[in-house]
Amino acid sequence: METKRTVTEIVLLLLTALATLIVSVFSAIRRYNDDITIAIIDLIISITMAILCLYIFKTRKVDVTKLLFAIFLVIACTASIAIKGLLQVYWLYPIIITMYYLIPPKSATALCLLLITTTSFIISIETDLINVLTILLTTLMTSTFSFIMFRSYERKILDFEALATIDQLTSTGNRRALDKRLADVIASRHRKTYDMCLILIDLDDFKKINDNYGHAVGDNVLVTTCNLIKQHTRVLDSLYRFGGDELVVMPLNMDLKSAKQVAEKIRCIIENHVYDCDIKITLSIGVAEYQPDDTPEKWIGRADTLLYKAKDAGRNQVY
């Protein structure tokens, strides 16, 4: 089943389709006025935009399309100013802003500087120094402000994405982050075969801690448990809060036997740790190895079944 198109895809499709339509109209008007050379240039631009529109529609390769679109805008704008004259300079300003929207700020800055330098040299041939300096300074200011705005926007998006994937209590990954990670790991597993496991952890009788000591103490126990697990697992492994008192360690790029050894190590560390209020905690753990036909739900489900086997066997065990 084909996934729904992203906002970026839709915007690119609209931009390229609209550019195709508008430039085609200009090409027809030029042809009607017997301005054949310019009509051909506009037609080439229109056809290129149509190709880009079709490319993004068929392949859905957003990053490639954005870069190609930005590069083409630089070439088309430069050629338009060189051939049509000084009045085409007005296209510089929307194109500069568009490039910062399309590609990362650093890449956009490099292309903008190239565009501004090239066009400044071209227009210096047909206008005086004051006009050249005015255009140079205003385009540089447009580029600078665009860089500041889009760089700030990019950082805010990254901050929002981080907040959306982090559990606020434990600072581990949340359920959303886990779902994405599982999907990415399974996709990579389809491309290359290797052993891979996940560990599903449940704090035994955690509800009693909340009931007897209060939720603040319970929260502290959960945070401390997560910190202890982080300290004693490999850097490449990730910890996620799956539910209230359920945690997932994954991916473990190892076979089932080795993953169970890691799980047993975690179980022992938590069992031997003394929490605030002299609280002692044990863990029930299920370890599941990835199977070729696994979906994220099936993989987690098998680990969950093993975890409940550990609970039924008396808790404080690894299955």
Point out the residues that are catalytic.
245
Q: Which of 260, 258, 238 is nearest to 249 (CA)?
A: 238
- Cβ-Cβ contacts under 8 Å for 296 (sequence gap 6 or more): 179, 182, 183, 186
Q: Which residues of 271-289 are buried (b: 16+ CB within 10 A; e: fewer)?
A: eeeebeeebebebbbbbbb
CA 108 to chain centre: 19
A 10 A CB-CB count for 87 gives 9
Q: Which of 228, 250, 231 is nearest to 239 (CA)?
A: 250
Polymer length of the chain? 319
DSSP 8-state symbol, 118: H
37: left (phi > 0), else alpha (psi -120 to 50), else beta?
alpha
Three-state DSSP class for residue 316: coil
Token readout for 106 is: 């650093």
